[in-house]
Structure 1
């Protein structure tokens, strides 16, 4: 039986991954592209957006969410079968890391799993549904104790585990990284990539509005002012728009004057230099 799941791999080379993530560093688009090309050079790689991992939707098939930070890198993907996380995968050695943490949560099922690799050796791996343990390698870690004691979920009775495997997997992630990977935690900025050949999404560029001349805006402002009595105030929205346009036009005019002065000064200095050079003649 297979268990489709969202799998997140954390490649850690620092004793303080929480400190790195809490600074909310930006993700480099080139990092993920190089990583995917290394895993499978045949993939057509298309960036599909940048967003926080902890507040994003589930990646689709042929999609990867990736980021590389100093000492911490992360890859999230959709896997058709995550029932045995301790088994070899090209992703486990995709990046050099002293520790690799793998977190899996089921799609449309109660599956949950987590694994900790120290180098190439699996230290702990647990994969299960509420009623079926698929993999249980290594000794339970201290953070697991409340779950095995039945303190984190209502008891289902029978052969059911005293906890939800998904909850235990997310607890392992918080414990190993030292920070909440969720909406209440820091934003973990990643870049999304597709490898199914889709075109890169087009983003329409907004054109800056044309700036009118000072005379044009001032004359229109004066015309509107004539329509009101001296003791009346012009409507706020209209007067506000006119003042804003007048300010924009003034700034643009100042820039044009500055460019003109610089050009005339350069011409004057060139002519003066030429006269000095030929003065002895």
Structure 2
């Protein structure tokens, strides 16, 4: 599997074994950075994997080319990336579709620039339903329409902008409806945050700091200490920390706060020492200058 090209559809894949996906998401589970890194390393060992942020997917822009947004929750795994040719979801790379064991795999694809929308449901490797289309072109229609599709085919979502041969709805509008019907929620509308970890596989350097929207931000002391300890291979919680192991990754706790406070106190002490030495040095130089004119 090669690195995604610079254009294409945003494809979101849900690997589901949980009986009630909506209940899992409602608990707002945290994503695990170690899991995402391990997943990508197994998907393509040749990729240079760069962590680029942790944030709520429902409050951020979608993944771009060369990026993967990943979240591993109890019974659910989410993978979002950009795929150049996603016009037939039933033909997605099998290595991606089978990259994780799951009873059900749901795939959603959108390209707002072309009005393309695609939905697909796989059960134990078999295509149950796949519909991929633009308003003026049907790429794939496999399986029977699900009940949630009927109002769309009946013209209830027709805005009157199409011609006689166009579909009576915009395919991109079908995607959130499918997500709600199949998973029980719409991440763009429903309340709980969907925490993901973002990675780049195109060789870009790791950004210094990112806020929850994935943009550069001024770090606070806790973030500075956390990043420094991480680069030294030290965990505030566990000196034997391994980025590939499972851990909650929330970054809080008394130990973290004590380390942050100790670091701040050490910085203040260093500042006082430097100031005292500076004053002493200035006094010494001044004394010597006063005596330079003496024989």
Does the pair score TM above 0.5?
yes
Contact 1:113/1:128 (CA < 8 Å) preserved in 2? yes
Name the CA distance, whole Å, in 2 between partners of 1:43 and 1:134.
31
Q: Tell me the number of residue pairs that the alignment of Structure 1 and Structure 2 aligns.
A: 208
How do residues 240-251 of structure 1 correspond to structure 2 at under 5 angstroms?
A: none
- Report the secondary structure of 1:169's partner residue: helix
Please state how far the C-alpha of 1:202 moved relative to its aligned partner. Answer: 2.1
Which residue number in structure 1 is paired with residue 188 of structure 2? Answer: 182
Q: Alpha carbon RMSD of aligned pairs, Å?
A: 1.9
TM-score, L = length of structure 2: 0.67
How do residues 160-171 of structure 1 correspond to structure 2 at under 5 angstroms?
A: 160-171=166-177
Q: 1:71 aligns with which of 57, 75, 89?
A: 75
Which residue number in structure 2 is paired with residue 47 of structure 1? Answer: 51
Which residue number in structure 2 is paired with residue 154 of structure 1? Answer: 159
- Report the secondary structure of 1:86's partner residue: helix
The answer to whether residue 191 in structure 2 is matched with residue 191 in structure 1 is no
Please state how far the C-alpha of 1:107 moved relative to its aligned partner. Answer: 4.2
- Report the secondary structure of 1:191's partner residue: strand
Please state how far the C-alpha of 1:183 moved relative to its aligned partner. Answer: 4.5
Name the CA distance, whole Å, in 2 between partners of 1:205 and 1:106.
34
The answer to whether residue 122 in structure 2 is matched with residue 110 in structure 1 is no
Which residue number in structure 1 is paired with residue 290 of structure 2? Answer: none
Contact 1:14/1:71 (CA < 8 Å) preserved in 2? yes
TM-score, L = length of structure 1: 0.70
Structure whose alpha-carbon radius of gyration is higher: 1
- Report the secondary structure of 2:101's partner residue: coil
Please state how far the C-alpha of 1:206 moved relative to its aligned partner. Answer: 4.6
Please state how far the C-alpha of 1:148 moved relative to its aligned partner. Answer: 0.5
Which residue number in structure 2 is paired with residue 35 of structure 1? Answer: 39
The answer to whether residue 142 in structure 2 is matched with residue 137 in structure 1 is yes
Which residue number in structure 1 is paired with residue 274 of structure 2? Answer: none
Unaligned runs of 5+ in 2: 1-6, 210-217, 223-264, 266-295
Unaligned runs of 5+ in 1: 209-251, 253-281
Q: 1:126 aligns with which of 114, 126, 131?
A: 131
Please state how far the C-alpha of 1:181 moved relative to its aligned partner. Answer: 1.4
Identify if the C-alpha distance between structure 1 residues 207 and 32 changes in structure 2 by more than 3 Å, giving closer, same or farther.
Answer: closer
Identify if the C-alpha distance between structure 1 residues 132 and 25 changes in structure 2 by more than 3 Å, giving closer, same or farther.
Answer: same
Name the CA distance, whole Å, in 1 between partners of 2:221 and 2:30.
27
